[in-house]
A and B are shown apart, each in its own frame.
Chain A
Amino acid sequence: MQLQLAKRQFTVAVLCLGASLSAVNGATAQTPIKFSIDWTFQGVHAPFAVAIQKGYYKREGLDVTMDRGAGSGDTIGRVAAGTYDIGYGDSNLLVKFNHDHPDATVTAAFMVYNSTPAGVVTLTKSGIREPKDLASKNIASPVGDAARLLFPAFAKTVGIDSGNIEWTSSQPNLRDTLLFQGKVDAVASYVPSTIMALETFGIKQDDIVVFNYAQYLPGLLGSGILVKPSMLAEKPLVIRAFIKGTIAGLQDALKDPEAAVQSLKQYDALINVPNEADRLKLVIAYSMQGAALKEQGLGFVSQAQLRAGVGLMADVNGIAPPDDLSTIYNETLLPPSAERMF
């Protein structure tokens, strides 16, 4: 009887100890974050890999797992459906997505790369020297590709008729091959990828002609951190923590692209570090220029650029732009400018 009582007291004591220990653990436990990027692991995703590997997210209290994506459009869908807490993708696509799905909108909370380096690429042997020469030419691009979608706006700005263009629809990885083989005159694409592909084929930088949309369409937005508005309202501290971790990773990547790309190897052992470092450097060169960005820090998008960019995407999709621009880019959770310098 005595023994049984003692046993019971002992059991209760152990259970209480266990409960209190787990409560303590719970208090210091990291918030798990499911994060999806927009494509397979490439140089541009190095900031995230660095932030995970060097513990920048951990020190903000987040346990981030990063998964690959299958295109920005799909990533936006994953965030909207709640499959992923946070995504990384092209924020230009949010305008049409939010218009089509008013009950399940997605918002950008931090612009990682300031403008999407979409554009038209051609070779000097095609004889095309300036945008006007593209009139009535044969251009290759996948259906639904951002560069193809934006072409009419680009055409209007440079004064050619986009209706006369002969489009060749192809998959992204075949498109650049078509240009190399001379089967098309130009391609509309994500410029850094096409330049890298052409260099793989042995074409020199001097023989490549690039028309970067950002030069002709000043409002163009870039790729950023995507979240649901409900998460912005309910868990702002978590999002801010993620942004801070990402900024730290991005600062490292901008300082030393090669070292940053090394962090990606743990995600994809087949990554060719020099190639991906080149890709990252190209994206930085095309997307991170501008005095305003250097002044105001990473993630800065002027209201003028935001209005112009949203208007641009609404125009090319034939829809009305949203009244509230913060449904596309919400800057309220950005840390102070001083912490965002690079």
Chain B
Amino acid sequence: MRSSKALERMAPWIVLAAVTLIWALVCFAFSIPDFIIPGPWSVVRGLWQNAPAISDNALQTFWTTMAGFSLGTGVGVLLGFMLGSSRFIYYSLYRLLVGFNSIPKSALVPILVVWFGIGSVPAVLSAALLCFFPITVNVATGLATTNPELEDVLAAMGASRLDILRKVGIPHSLPYLFASLKVAITLAFVGTIISESIASNKGIGYLMVSAGSQMMMPLVFSGLLVISVMAMGMYEIFALIERRMTSWAQRGAESRAR
């Protein structure tokens, strides 16, 4: 029992080490030059040598993404709430939302630039526009799939629609919401990077374009690495919050895993 728990915790690190080793071996075996695919050592070295500049850009991306993510979450929850609680709103809006979501956001960035200039604003909006949709869908699904017997019991006891929503609807949607938040945070990073690579003087997106045009590929990969780490960190934070707030929904998970 103890050793399997320890193994569970070591597992991701073992996999990471294995992937890094395979990456290094492939680069070595095929003599792939640094400017096509840098090996792990070049990437780490690039990270180390340019740490101040990379961390500067990384912080810019991080805060922009957090702002965009908060905006996207707010809009997503609101829209999901509206779609989940009213059939009329659902039918009038959901097709438009799907259509809108299919538009590549890189096409929208130049329009945002004309309205807001380059910099953080298009990046925040890009992140928000990319990440609101999964949240909307999940919150709407959570609300729409609430157990009808539970709702009937409460209605029979004289609860208003709002009461039912508060006692049954919202708690039921929480697991769905958290699942979507984990997806949305990674999308928010993507949105920020897309905008920064076209329209920003700072940020990991800018770093990747600038380093790419100077053929400094190890630096580009360092940027990618930093984004991955940030996204993984945020994912873990939301997973933690999820365990705290919806532990009642995960009671079966542990026993099933055994």
Which chain A residues have a beta carbon within 8 Å of chain B's beta carbons? 34, 36, 39-42, 67-68, 70, 74, 77-78, 81, 83, 172-173, 176-177, 193, 196-197, 200-201, 267-272, 275-276
Return the CB mask of B200-218 against A: 1 if under 8 Å, else 0.
1100001101111111100
Q: What residues of A have a CB within 8 angstroms of the CB of B117 in the complex?
A: 34, 67, 83
Return the CB mask of B105-121 against A: 1 if under 8 Å, else 0.
00000100110011100
Which chain B residues have a beta carbon within 8 Å of chain A's beta carbons? 33, 35-36, 50, 52-53, 56, 110, 113-114, 117-119, 198-201, 206-207, 209-216, 219
Contact B206 A173 (CB under 8 A): no
25 chain-A/chain-B pairs, Cβ below 8 angstroms = A40-B209, A40-B213, A67-B117, A67-B118, A70-B110, A70-B198, A77-B110, A78-B113, A83-B113, A83-B114, A172-B213, A173-B212, A173-B213, A176-B215, A193-B213, A196-B215, A197-B215, A200-B35, A200-B215, A201-B33, A268-B206, A269-B56, A270-B53, A270-B216, A271-B214
Q: What residues of B have a CB within 8 angstroms of the CB of A176 in the complex?
A: 215
Query: What's the Cα separation between A268 and B209 when bound, in Å?
Result: 12
Contact B199 A40 (CB under 8 A): no
Contact B210 A40 (CB under 8 A): yes
Contact B210 A270 (CB under 8 A): yes
Determine the residue in chain A with the shortest Cβ distance to B53.
A269
Choose among B33, B52, B114 the residue that contacts A269 (Cβ–Cβ < 8 A). Answer: B52
Contact B210 A268 (CB under 8 A): yes
Determine the residue in chain B with the shortest Cβ distance to A67.
B118
Q: What residues of B have a CB within 8 angstroms of the CB of A173 in the complex?
A: 212-213, 215
Least Cβ–Cβ distance between A29 and chain B, in angstroms: 21
Least Cβ–Cβ distance between B204 and chain A, in angstroms: 11
Contact B207 A68 (CB under 8 A): no
Q: What residues of B have a CB within 8 angstroms of the CB of A197 in the complex?
A: 215
Contact A272 B199 (CB under 8 A): no
Instruction: Report the number of A-B residue pairs with Cβ-Cβ less than 8 Å.
Output: 65
Contact B213 A39 (CB under 8 A): yes
Contact B114 A42 (CB under 8 A): no
Q: What residues of B have a CB within 8 angstroms of the CB of A272 in the complex?
A: 214, 216
Contact A68 B201 (CB under 8 A): yes
Contact B118 A68 (CB under 8 A): yes
Least Cβ–Cβ distance between A291 and chain B, in angstroms: 33
Query: What's the Cα separation between A6 and B201 when bound, in Å?
Result: 53
A40-B213, A193-B213 provided; 10 other pairs, C-beta below 8 A?
A34-B117, A42-B213, A42-B214, A68-B201, A70-B110, A83-B113, A201-B215, A268-B206, A270-B216, A271-B214
Determine the residue in chain B with the shortest Cβ distance to A265.
B53
Query: What's the Cα separation between A193 and B213 when bound, in Å?
Result: 8
Determine the residue in chain A with the shortest Cβ distance to B197.
A70
Query: What's the Cα separation between A67 and B117 when bound, in Å?
Result: 9
Least Cβ–Cβ distance between A59 and chain B, in angstroms: 24
Given contacts A40-B213, A201-B33, contact A67 B52 (CB under 8 A): no
Contact B210 A81 (CB under 8 A): no
Q: What residues of B have a CB within 8 angstroms of the CB of A268 in the complex?
A: 201, 206, 210
Query: What's the Cα separation between A83 and B119 when bound, in Å?
Result: 13
Query: What's the Cα separation between A161 and B119 when bound, in Å?
Result: 45
Query: What's the Cα separation between A68 and B197 when bound, in Å?
Result: 10
Query: What's the Cα separation between A74 and B112 when bound, in Å?
Result: 13
Q: What residues of A have a CB within 8 angstroms of the CB of B211 in the complex?
A: 270
Determine the residue in chain B with the shortest Cβ distance to A200.
B215
Q: What residues of A have a CB within 8 angstroms of the CB of B213 in the complex?
A: 39-40, 42, 172-173, 193
Least Cβ–Cβ distance between A265 and chain B, in angstroms: 10
Least Cβ–Cβ distance between B60 and chain A, in angstroms: 12
Choose among A41, A81, A177, A267 the residue that contacts B35 (Cβ–Cβ < 8 A). Answer: A177
Least Cβ–Cβ distance between B54 and chain A, in angstroms: 8
Contact A74 B50 (CB under 8 A): no
Least Cβ–Cβ distance between A183 and chain B, in angstroms: 12
Contact A270 B215 (CB under 8 A): no
Q: 8 closest pairs, A vs B, by CB? A: A269-B53, A40-B210, A200-B215, A70-B198, A173-B212, A270-B53, A81-B114, A197-B215
Least Cβ–Cβ distance between A104 and chain B, in angstroms: 12
Query: What's the Cα separation between A173 and B212 when bound, in Å?
Result: 7
Q: What residues of B have a CB within 8 angstroms of the CB of A42 in the complex?
A: 213-214
Q: What residues of B have a CB within 8 angstroms of the CB of A267 in the complex?
A: 201
